[in-house]
Structure 1
Amino acid sequence: MVSVLFVCLGNICRSPMAEAVMRQKVSEAGLSNVISIDSAGTGDWHIGHQPHEGTRQLLDTRKISYHGQKARQIAAEDFNQFTYIVCMDTSNEKNVLAWEGAANASGTVFRFMTMLPEEQIADVPDPYYTGNFEEVYRLVEAGCERLLQRIRAEHSL
C-alpha cells in the first residue's frame, strides 16, 4: 500500500483540502485499494476539529467529500507509516524534519510546491490568514494531479 500524509500547521485548511482532493483523484483513478491518504498538522490547536469553514465551503461547491476528516497532530509513528509526507510550506517542512522520528523516516518528506515549479513560489499560501481558498484549491488540485502521476510512475500503478 502506498500512503500519503499531507501536513500543514493546524490541519484545518491546506492539508485537509489536499487530503480530500487527493482522495477524490485516487478514487476516480480506481486506486483507492492501493493508495491511502491522510493529513496532519504540526500544531495541536485544532485537534479533533473538522476542516475550516472556508475549506468545507470550497469542497462542498466542488462536490468533494471531506466526510470524517478531523484535525490531528503529526506523530512519530507517521514517519514509518507513510510513503510520502508532503509539507504544505517551508516552515512546516522544517518542523516535520525536526520532529521525533523524522531521522528514521522510511518514506520521503518533501514540500508540496516542488511538484509545481512553474508556479515559482515555495509555499502553498495559508488561507487561514489570506482568506484565499480559491488560490489554494487551484494549487492543491494541480499538485495532487502531479503527485498522483508521480506515485503511478514510481510504483507502476
Structure 2
Amino acid sequence: MRLLVVCLGNICRSPMAEGVLRARIEASPLAGQVEIDSAGTGDWHVGQPPDRRAVAKAREHGVDIGDLRARQFAVDDHHDFDWLLCADRANLRDVRRLAPADGARAGSGLLLEWAGLADDPEIPDPYTGGEAQFEHVFRLLDAAAAGVLARLQREYRR
C-alpha cells in the first residue's frame, strides 16, 4: 500500500502528516507494508526542507521530519500510489485535474475524511499563523494518522 499526502507547498501540512503517519505505521503490525510520501501542488518550495515551525512542532511530539524535502505533485503520482490524500478541497481539485486519461490506479480524497474524521474535512494551512496553528494542525494530523492506521488494519492487512 502506497499513500501520498498532498498539500499546497509540501512544507507544513503534508510533511507533518508524512512524519506522523510513518511513525504510527512503523510502530504497528503494518510496519514494512505501507509506504508514505508527501508532495505539494505548487512548485515554490521544491527541494527545501519543511518549514522550521513544522519541524519544531513535529519534534516536540517525537516525530523527526527534518530530513524531508519538498517535491511537487506529478501526474505519475496517479500511477505510483494507491491513494492521494489531500489536505483541503483546493488540493483535491488540483490533484484530480491532473489525473491522466489513461486510467490511473490511485484513488483520491481528503485525508481527514479518509481517516474517518469528517466533522470539518479540511486541514487549515498554518503557514501564515503561529505556534497555536501549528499545534492545532499537528493534533488534527495525529488524529488522522490514528484513523488511517485503523482503516489500513481493517481493510489492507496482509
TM-score by length of 1: 0.92
* Distance of 2:15 and 2:91 partners within structure 1: 15
Contact 1:96 1:102 in 2 (8 A): no
State which drifts further: 53-62 or 13-22.
53-62
Tell me what 2:112 maps to: 113
Shift of 1:155: 1.1
| 1:130 partner SS | coil
Counterpart residue type for residue 67 of structure 2: G
Q: How does 1:6-155 map to 2 (within 5 A)?
A: 6-101=5-100, 104-114=103-113, 115-117=116-118, 120-131=119-130, 132-155=133-156
Counterpart residue type for residue 56 of structure 2: Q
Quick one: structure 1 residues 96 and 26, their matched pair in 2 at CA, closer, same or farther if it must change by over 3 Å? same
* Distance of 2:93 and 2:15 partners within structure 1: 20
Report which of the two has the higher share of helix: 1
Counterpart residue type for residue 137 of structure 2: V
**How many residues align structurally?**
154
Give the unaligned 5+ runs of structure 2.
Answer: none
Which ranges of 4 or more aligned residues in structure 1 deviate by more than 4 Å?
A: none
Contact 2:39 2:71 in 1 (8 A): yes
| 2:127 partner SS | helix
TM-score by length of 2: 0.91
**Percent of aligned positions with the same letter in both sequences?**
36
Give the unaligned 5+ runs of structure 1.
Answer: none
Shift of 1:100: 4.4
| 1:6 partner SS | strand
* Distance of 2:157 and 2:112 partners within structure 1: 23
Counterpart residue type for residue 11 of structure 2: I
| 2:128 partner SS | helix
Shift of 1:88: 0.3
| 1:86 partner SS | strand
Shift of 1:30: 4.0
| 1:146 partner SS | helix
RMSD: 1.5
Counterpart residue type for residue 138 of structure 1: R
* Distance of 1:32 and 1:101 partners within structure 2: 31
